[in-house]
Structure 1
Amino acid sequence: MPYLPMMSLAIVHHSAFDARFDPKHRFPMAKFSRLAEILVEDGLVAAGGYQVPEPATADWLRLAHAPAYVDAVLTQTVSAAAEKTIGFAVDAAVALRSRCATGGTVLTARLALERGLACNTAGGSHHAARDGGAGFSVFNDVAVAAHALLAEGLVRRVLVFDCDVHQGDGTALIFAGEPRVFTLSIHGENNYPAVKPPSDLDIPLPDKTGDDAYLAVLPFALETALHEAAPDIVFYNAGVDPHADDRLGRLCLSDAGLAERDRRVLGFFRDRGIPVAGVIGGGYSRDIESLARRHTILHRVAAEFA
């Protein structure tokens, strides 16, 4: 797939990514605003320098999700039972946030095709499946973006390389039987979800894996994915929930381990001229400052390749 040489790293952000939850809520919504602030404060993005996405359209969302579910989110008529599965109420702010985050991953993918690499400041909502959301995921932004690129003929083959600590069950279900999309998940074997539908390649890891053992599985994962997927674009979920201090983690990675993970994944595909769209995935510390800074690891490492 042709692409332009990289200049500066394209980073996507929208103020609606933060739906302004109560700070006591178990989902750390404030991390999205603080992440964007830190990237400006530390000079990775100039003031006013973010690429701002449009909210995902209903037509895009229906590429990956059932029309009835899309309509329920857009009209804020999701059932109480479905909201419980998601983990929060789907009100107007959450519906807009979900559309903007998904539109952000679509824009990130388009920028990656143009420049070689781009990153979202949200995305990676990989538990949402065709018929509904789950696990803090309303829409599966990567699945929507992959479908949109395929439908427009911009790519022929897609790789989803998911390093969130939780298995990408929604993504696996959405793309089951779809030969143009290869799904890979490196995750904690004892973590959510309890039922893990098969990805094209799953690499489950035991609790307390640590940096060295985690990094040791990457060569096999990367080489296998490259051979099996032959991708025109890679969607990279750089979840920071494998971190030792993450309250939903268990894999015990350090900041340095996460950075080296990102460096090896991004470097592997960029060395081969394959565009990469990065999304931030999960991270669940209650310390918003530390968590937001941990999420910036993806953008800092990606900037090395710009």
Structure 2
Amino acid sequence: MKIAYHDIYTHPLPADHRFPMLKYELMATQLLREGIITEDLLFTPEPAPEEVILLTHTREYWHKLQQQTLSDREQRRIGFLQSPALTQREIVITQGTIDIALHALEQGIGFNIAGGTHHAFADHGEGFCLLNDFGVAANYLLQQKKVKQLLVIDLDVHQGNGTAALFAHNANVYTFSMHGAHNYPFHKETSDWDIPLPDGMTTDAYLVELTAALPVLIDRVKPDLVFYLSGVDILDSDKFGKLKVTAAGCRQRDELVFQALQQRGIPCAVAMGGGYATHIKDIVNAHCNTFRAGMDIYGY
């Protein structure tokens, strides 16, 4: 089992970028301190090559990221001021998702300590996402004929609008998003299957919904590999999530996904996605629970 991580996920970034990225550094520290993982499981991705990025993103947009020529409006849409460090971070994270997907095909499961940048479209970024790591990884696997059918299970509280748009006309990638109906993005794209959730949905109701959907989804798609976006912004402590799922319920969610896949022999590539609780320890603990659940169920 391999875990993509590099300190470029947090360093060197401008001060206004640094705090939202802090959880990635703290996750690695906590996983190591608790003995959930060992140093030898961590690896440093190389930057994704241009030709791989261009399988998904337009050349014009890619050049704007390279040359730091995004307009003020484009930067506001992303939510970050552009910087070479931020662009480099996204390129490395994207390759990390490719690498852990390839590893999952061989070993069952792989994790990216960052990733899940599902609001990035082919020609623009938004919602703190510059490049769509699942999109790039999926197109790479298909181009290399590593897989024939892919499934994206997106359980971040925000709809994976960029991913839905990227694969709207690609039958080889099935997109599933279970998200807050009244949360960002306020204009939703159309996934292959969307389940919009009402504000205030409790743990029990959430798990009932997911338990009913998973076997139908997996049997319908029969994927060679699943990309799982395990955002923890469904937590009741999240500042923006609007749902009422407990930390225990969030871990049960992960267990449901991993059990459904492992029982059918389906490999899984996991990226962390969002999490915006008031106390960063709540975010880190919930993300670490995803690692605990995946490693337990896949036998690590």
- Specify the TM-score bucket, using the shorter chain as the normaliser: over 0.9
Partner amino acid for 2:77? Answer: T
By how many angstroms is 1:22 displaced?
6.5
Mind listing any 5+ residue stretches in structure 2 that lack a counterpart?
A: none
**CA distance in structure 2 between the aligned counterparts of 1:233 and 1:274, rounded to whole angstroms:** 6
Aligned to 2:270: 278
**CA distance in structure 1 between the aligned counterparts of 2:156 and 2:44, rounded to whole angstroms:** 25
By how many angstroms is 1:219 displaced?
2.8
Change (3 A) 1:205 1:99: same
> What percent of counterpart residues are identical?
40
**CA distance in structure 2 between the aligned counterparts of 1:37 and 1:26, rounded to whole angstroms:** 17
Aligned to 1:6: none
Relative to the length of structure 1, the TM-score reads 0.93
Secondary structure, aligned partner of 2:191: coil
By how many angstroms is 1:21 displaced?
5.4
Change (3 A) 1:27 1:168: farther
Aligned to 1:156: 148
Deviates more, 1:140-149 or 1:17-26: 17-26
**CA distance in structure 2 between the aligned counterparts of 1:119 and 1:26, rounded to whole angstroms:** 22
By how many angstroms is 1:265 displaced?
0.3
Deviates more, 1:74-83 or 1:171-180: 74-83
Aligned to 1:240: 232
Does the 8 Å CA contact 1:23/1:30 hold for their aligned counterparts? no
Which of 61, 86, 92 is matched with 2:84 structurally?
A: 92
**CA distance in structure 2 between the aligned counterparts of 1:25 and 1:50, rounded to whole angstroms:** 24
Relative to the length of structure 2, the TM-score reads 0.95
**CA distance in structure 1 between the aligned counterparts of 2:284 and 2:67, rounded to whole angstroms:** 31
Does the 8 Å CA contact 2:6/2:45 hold for their aligned counterparts? yes
**CA distance in structure 2 between the aligned counterparts of 1:143 and 1:301, rounded to whole angstroms:** 25
Residues 159-178 of structure 1, C-alpha deviations (whole Å, 9 max, x = no match): 00000000010000000110
- 2:62 paired with 1:70: yes
- Match runs of 1:45-124 below 5 Å: 45-124=37-116
Aligned to 2:216: 224
Secondary structure, aligned partner of 1:218: helix
Secondary structure, aligned partner of 2:151: strand
Identify which of structures 1 and 2 has the higher relative contact order when contacts are C-alpha pairs closer than 8 Å and 6+ apart: 1
Deviates more, 1:166-175 or 1:227-236: 227-236
Deviates more, 1:151-160 or 1:17-26: 17-26
**CA distance in structure 2 between the aligned counterparts of 1:62 and 1:226, rounded to whole angstroms:** 29
Does the 8 Å CA contact 1:124/1:280 hold for their aligned counterparts? yes
Change (3 A) 1:300 1:23: farther
Change (3 A) 1:149 1:183: same
By how many angstroms is 1:25 displaced?
6.0
Aligned to 1:251: 243
Residues 239-258 of structure 1, C-alpha deviations (whole Å, 9 max, x = no match): 00000111111111111001
Does the 8 Å CA contact 2:57/2:123 hold for their aligned counterparts? yes
By how many angstroms is 1:225 displaced?
1.7
Secondary structure, aligned partner of 2:138: helix
Secondary structure, aligned partner of 2:43: coil
**CA distance in structure 2 between the aligned counterparts of 1:142 and 1:21, rounded to whole angstroms:** 23
Does the 8 Å CA contact 1:112/1:275 hold for their aligned counterparts? yes
Alignment size in residue pairs? 298
**CA distance in structure 2 between the aligned counterparts of 1:88 and 1:270, rounded to whole angstroms:** 37
Change (3 A) 1:20 1:211: farther
Secondary structure, aligned partner of 2:195: strand
Partner amino acid for 1:36? Answer: A
**CA distance in structure 2 between the aligned counterparts of 1:136 and 1:52, rounded to whole angstroms:** 22
Residues 158-205 of structure 1, C-alpha deviations (whole Å, 9 max, x = no match): 000000000010000000110101000000001001110110000001
Mind listing any 5+ residue stretches in structure 1 that lack a counterpart?
A: 1-8
Aligned to 1:180: 172
Partner amino acid for 2:211? Answer: P
Aligned to 1:297: 289
Secondary structure, aligned partner of 1:187: strand
Partner amino acid for 1:64? Answer: T
Change (3 A) 1:59 1:102: same
Partner amino acid for 1:100? Answer: V
RMSD: 1.6
Change (3 A) 1:170 1:19: farther
By how many angstroms is 1:124 displaced?
0.6
Does the 8 Å CA contact 1:20/1:29 hold for their aligned counterparts? no
